[in-house]
Structure 1
Amino acid sequence: MKKIGFLVNPIAGMGGAVGLKGTDGDAFRKAVSLGSMPISGERAKRAVQHLRANDLLMLTSSGEMGEDVIKETGLLYDVIYDIHGKTSAADTREVCKRFLEADVDLILFCGGDGTARDVYSVIGTDIPMLGIPAGVKMYSGVFAIDPVAAGDLLEDLLSHQNHSILTDSEYDEDRIKIRDAEVVDIDENEYRKGMLKIEVFGYAKTPYKPTLVQGRKFVFYGEDEEVSKREIGRFASEFMRDGSLYILGAGTTTKAVADALNLEKTLLGVDVIKDGRLIKSDANENDLLNILEGEKSTKIIVSPIGAQGFIFGRGNQQISSKVIRKVGIGNVIVIATPYKLEQTPYLFVDTGDADLDRSFSGYMSVVCGYRMAERKEVQVHGGSFS
């Protein structure tokens, strides 16, 4: 019988929609005060609800750290760690010690980079780990592209036992590779100040299959990159004078747009611009929904995360499915430098709204220079969120 260690970080991702860029420390309490609701339990459920392996035992924690999700699925499970009161990173590390003692075959966790770091700090490379994405930012390479993809990858791994290790020079889209993936995290306090400092904590073993598991985030530097960003910004500053309201996503590429308009940009946040004026800085989901009321023409400008390819669902949860639906998919403008596009095989979306995600499927134009665009495929996982 295969044994899977299953854990959920119950507060993961709560800072996203309210614009807090994480839930470490006091940010969790502030997120609650702003009306943020837990999302990780529902995302974890989407990952495991369709597992059908008969010889599978899920080992987990009591309550909201795992049991509450598993008991709704009909899967065989055993609680090996009891939580008491509010959970913390110490609980994550302790249950991972229990997973080691139980000799589980894989740890399936639901959270963000902080959770991945806590898991890795205990298990190292002794056990493969796979993340169900639920955090605000997920720059590590141990996460599936969305919850359903995590479940499908695990089901494939368990059902077909085809997880023979391939070398980096080999490629087979029908086989699962166990690869070394970077576990990274950032300083959330610096992140909230607009400073992105990524630290690599180690390399975990994780199952991998193309289009099901994300890569880690890369930041591209160089004079050519800066020139390309300025050209994109120059073009955007021209077409943005059409009277529409623009929601400008996070990142250095979108900052180039604000620079071209001589406006201050929240580097790692979302801003709202109309007629060359800054309407709202560092907006959260509620800000955006309120601002959109009564606007006749609205558009969203975003840039994919380098190498990962996500345009929604990673670090910009303020631009929620509700916001995107109000604006309309046809009014989403993606911008990226030519080199970033070259190093980003596909674009992805993970809004939590399956129908909305699927409507992005296909090819879309990406502005990559002054009056220049390139077609890029948006990959949407075919699993059901029912």
Structure 2
Amino acid sequence: MFRLGVIVNPYAGLGGTVGLKGSDGEATVAEAFNRGAEPRAMARMRRALQVLLPWREQLHLFCYAGDMGESCAIALDFSYTVVGSPSAQVTTAVDTCEAARVLMAQGVDLILFAGGDGTARNIADAVGTRQAVLGVPSGVKMHSGVYAITPEGAGHIVQLLLEGKWVPIVEQDVKDIDEDAFRAGQVRARFYGTLLVPEAPQFLQQVKNSGARVDELAQIDVASEVIEHLVDDTLYIVGPGSTTQVLLQQINLAGSLLGVDLMRNQQLLATDVTAQDISNALDQHTGEVRIIITAIGGQGHIIGRGNQQLTPDILRRVGKENIQVIATREKILALQGRPLLVDSHDPVLDKTFAGYLPVITGYRERIMYPVGIQDQTAGQSPA
């Protein structure tokens, strides 16, 4: 019997769709709810666990009460043991740390947790490198290398362990950024330690590369190509990132760098918008719409990391054919052949991106690049 510890940070990723760029702290959680945010971490943990339903008889879950884990076990009818309860209705980092310590004391084989970089820090504080863990990506920002590419990817990694496949347990970096500085448009990423993580490269997220040399001339080339093809009266939804920021700078616009901006006729309509702001703009706009996004360096995510304002509903309304990916040649080469990734919080929508997308990589230069991981299962269902 495989003993799987489960921890859910119910508020992870809460600030993404409403433009808060994080969910650390009770005040931020309250503000996120005030703006209409909806929790999603439990749903993402359920997606990871659903992969394991064929192995349900070989699994026993250990978890905290309620939304910190028990609710997911009940929803999917796993056998489980409640090992503790959060100290208050609104869970905090203290609850995450205590849950991790208790699960380690219970002798679980692996702790599967849903959260963001802040949650990974809490887990690292609690168990260090004494316990194998794996993250289900659920936060706004995920610079750490402890997360699977998608919730289903996390499930597949556990599946490999259940099947007794060769899965090395290696140390992976835990990184986090200063959320207050992030909201002010500054990225201050710090190394906080390491966690022991099962290594399955096809399913495990790479550490975000924010220290590589930024080729500004290459970014200007990319921007020049985009600007040359801007269409009047089209609403442009411009995603975060240094490459898109250079694009705006080339037409003398001050974008938000780490937020989503709206532009029409080379003029900013709004900066650092929420998902609701975008939805309202789509309601009011009668012409064409385009989304311009770039890939996260080192990871390759184009949807679902730092741009959760682009919700599945918005992506469907705009249409895959109206999404333009831009990235310098250097950024694409740094992926070493790994595909661009989409993790929109809607697996059905994610699958529609599978295949190849055109990527602008320079002036009058485009490539076709693969998107999404292959539909790899760790093996067949047990007899």
Q: State the TM-score bracket (shorter-chain normalisation).
A: over 0.9
Q: Report the equivalent of 1:308.
A: 299
Q: Deviations over 1:19-71 (max 9, x none)?
A: 10011122111101011111111111111124214232211000110101111
Aligned residues: 370
Q: Report the equivalent of 1:240.
A: 230
Q: Report the equivalent of 2:76.
A: 73
1:371 counterpart (335, 358, 364)? 364
2:85 counterpart (55, 79, 82)? 82
Contact 1:53 1:155 in 2 (8 A): no
Contact 2:233 2:287 in 1 (8 A): no
Letter in 2 for 1:11: Y
Q: How far apart, in 2, do the equivalents of 1:295 and 1:127 lie?
A: 54
1:226 counterpart (198, 216, 220)? 216
Q: Deviations over 1:166-197 (max 9, x none)?
A: xxxxxxxxxx3322211110000000000001
SS at 2:296's partner residue?
coil
Q: Deviations over 1:223-248 (max 9, x none)?
A: 6x111011111221221144311110
Q: How far apart, in 2, do the equivalents of 1:221 and 1:121 lie?
A: 28
Q: Report the equivalent of 2:38.
A: 37
1:319 counterpart (307, 310, 317)? 310
For the structure 1 residues 370 and 142, does the alpha-carbon distance in structure 2 shift closer, same or farther, using more than 3 Å as the test? Answer: same
Q: How far apart, in 2, do the equivalents of 1:34 and 1:10 lie?
A: 17
1:179 counterpart (161, 170, 183)? 170
**Gaps in structure 2 of 5+ consecutive residues:** 378-383
Q: Deviations over 1:251-304 (max 9, x none)?
A: 100001001110001010000111110011111101101101233200001011
Q: How far apart, in 1, do the equivalents of 2:168 and 2:359 lie?
A: 31
Q: How far apart, in 2, do the equivalents of 1:381 and 1:92 lie?
A: 33
For the structure 1 residues 66 and 325, does the alpha-carbon distance in structure 2 shift closer, same or farther, using more than 3 Å as the test? Answer: same
Q: Report the equivalent of 1:275.
A: 265
Q: How far apart, in 2, do the equivalents of 1:68 and 1:219 lie?
A: 36
Q: How far apart, in 1, do the equivalents of 2:254 and 2:177 lie?
A: 23
Q: Report the equivalent of 1:117.
A: 121
**1:383 CA drift (Å):** 7.7
Letter in 1 for 2:7: L
Q: Give RMSD over aligned pairs.
A: 1.5
Q: How far apart, in 1, do the equivalents of 2:51 and 2:365 lie?
A: 43
Q: Report the equivalent of 1:166.
A: none
**1:221 CA drift (Å):** 4.4
Q: Report the equivalent of 1:157.
A: 161
Q: How far apart, in 1, do the equivalents of 2:320 and 2:375 lie?
A: 19
Residue 339 in 1 paired to residue 340 in 2?
A: no
Letter in 1 for 2:83: I
SS at 2:71's partner residue?
helix
Letter in 1 for 2:225: F
Q: How far apart, in 2, do the equivalents of 1:383 and 1:71 lie?
A: 27
Contact 1:149 1:381 in 2 (8 A): no
SS at 1:182's partner residue?
strand
Q: How far apart, in 2, do the equivalents of 1:239 and 1:264 lie?
A: 20
Contact 1:148 1:383 in 2 (8 A): no
Query: Residues 19-34 of structure 1 correspond to what in structure 2 (within 5 A)?
Result: 19-25=19-25, 26-34=27-35
Q: Deviations over 1:292-343 (max 9, x none)?
A: 1233200001011111100000110001111111111001100111111001
**Gaps in structure 1 of 5+ consecutive residues:** 164-175
Percent same amino acid at aligned positions? 38
- Of the structure 1 ranges 106-115 and 209-218, higher mean CA displacement relative to structure 2 is found in 209-218
**1:366 CA drift (Å):** 0.8
Q: How far apart, in 2, do the equivalents of 1:382 and 1:24 lie?
A: 33
Query: Residues 99-138 of structure 1 correspond to what in structure 2 (within 5 A)?
Result: 99-138=103-142
SS at 2:190's partner residue?
strand
1:249 counterpart (239, 249, 252)? 239
Contact 1:211 1:379 in 2 (8 A): no
Letter in 2 for 1:263: L
Q: How far apart, in 1, do the equivalents of 2:250 and 2:227 lie?
A: 6
**1:84 CA drift (Å):** 3.7
TM-score (norm 2): 0.93
**1:157 CA drift (Å):** 1.1
For the structure 1 residues 44 and 383, does the alpha-carbon distance in structure 2 shift closer, same or farther, using more than 3 Å as the test? Answer: farther
Query: Residues 252-263 of structure 1 correspond to what in structure 2 (within 5 A)?
Result: 252-263=242-253
